[in-house]
Homo-oligomer: A and B are copies of this chain.
Amino acid sequence: MKRLSIVLLSVASVAAGSLGLRAQQQGGDGPRYTNGANLVRPANYREWTFLGSGLGMTYEAEQARPQSSPRFTNVFVNPSSYRSFMQTGKWPDRTTFLLEIRGSGGDASINKAGRFQTDFLALEAEVKDARFPDGWAFFDFGSARSLKEAAAPLAGEQVAGCIECHTKHTAVERTFVQFYPTLLEVARRMGTLKPGH
C-alpha cells in the first residue's frame, strides 16, 4: 500500500469534487437523451454490471433449429440500478439495460468444444424512465457497421411486439429476470416476482 499524505485542497476544488461524487451517487450512470427522448449510446456500457449471457436464444419458432454459428447475447445494466435492485428486488426510475449481440467461435486455440464470444454485432436498449408514456422505452442502436450515436424510442409497430412480450412473459416488471441468476435469487427473496414465476 502506498502511503497517502493528507493534502489541503482549495475550497473550489473541494466543491467540484464533492459535486462530481454526488452526481455519481445520485445516478450519474442514468440515461442521457438528445431532443428529450433520443437515448445517447452509453460509451462505457462494457464497464456496467453484467447480468447474464445467452447463446443461440430465440423465441421465434421458425428459428428453433440448431444454428451453425449461434449468437451470444450479453445483458448489462447501469451499476447504480443494479445495486438498488440487489437491495429491493425492483428497478428504480432511470434504469438502463443494454443488450449486446456478439458472434461465437468454436474450434480455436485450446478450445476443443463449446463456444466463446467474438465480434460485436449489434446493440439494443430498454429504459425505465417516467418521461415515457408507460414508463418504459425500447431502442435499437443498429448493427456494428452502422452503429448510431443516439436512437429514438421505437414506436408503433416497431415496438408493439417488444411491449407485449416484455409485459406477458417477464418475471419482474418488464425485465427477463428469470434469465439473470443473481437477480432471480433476490427477486425470490424480496417477493417481487410476478405470479407464475
Interface-side segment among A64-72, A127-135, A151-159: A64-72
- Residue of B59, B74, B112 near A112 (CB, 8 A) is B59
| Assembly CA distance A8 to B181 (angstroms) | 43
**Which chain B residues lie closer than 8 Å to A146 at the CB level?**
none
Using Cβ atoms and an 8 Å threshold, which residues of chain B touch A65? 113
Bound Cα distance A19, B53 (Å): 37
**Chain B's nearest CB lies how many Å from the CB of A180?**
8
Q: Which of B11, B55, B79 contacts A114 (CB 8 A)?
A: B55
Inter-chain CA distance A196–B5, complex, in Å, is 46
Q: Is A92 on the interface with B (CB-CB < 8 A)?
A: no
Q: Is the CB of B2 within 8 A of A26?
A: yes
Chain B, residue nearest A23 (CB): B4
Q: How far does the Cβ of A143 sit from chain B's closest Cβ, in whole Å? A: 16
Copies in the complex: 2
What bracket does the count of chain A residues touching chain B fall in? 35 or more
Bound CA span A169–B14, Å? 49
Q: Which of B8, B50, B113, B176 contacts A46 (CB 8 A)?
A: B50
Render A154-178 as a binary contact track against B, CB cut-off 8 A, 1 for contact: 0000000000010001010000101
A110:B72 contact, CB within 8 angstroms:
no
Q: Does A63 contact B (CB under 8 A)?
A: yes
Jot down 15 A-B pairs with beta carbons below 8 A, ordered by A.
A8-B11, A8-B15, A53-B53, A53-B72, A54-B114, A57-B115, A59-B110, A59-B112, A64-B113, A66-B113, A67-B113, A109-B169, A109-B179, A117-B180, A119-B181
Apart from A53-B72, A55-B115, A108-B178: 10 A-B pairs, beta carbons within 8 A:
A9-B18, A47-B49, A47-B79, A53-B74, A56-B115, A57-B116, A63-B112, A109-B176, A110-B176, A119-B181
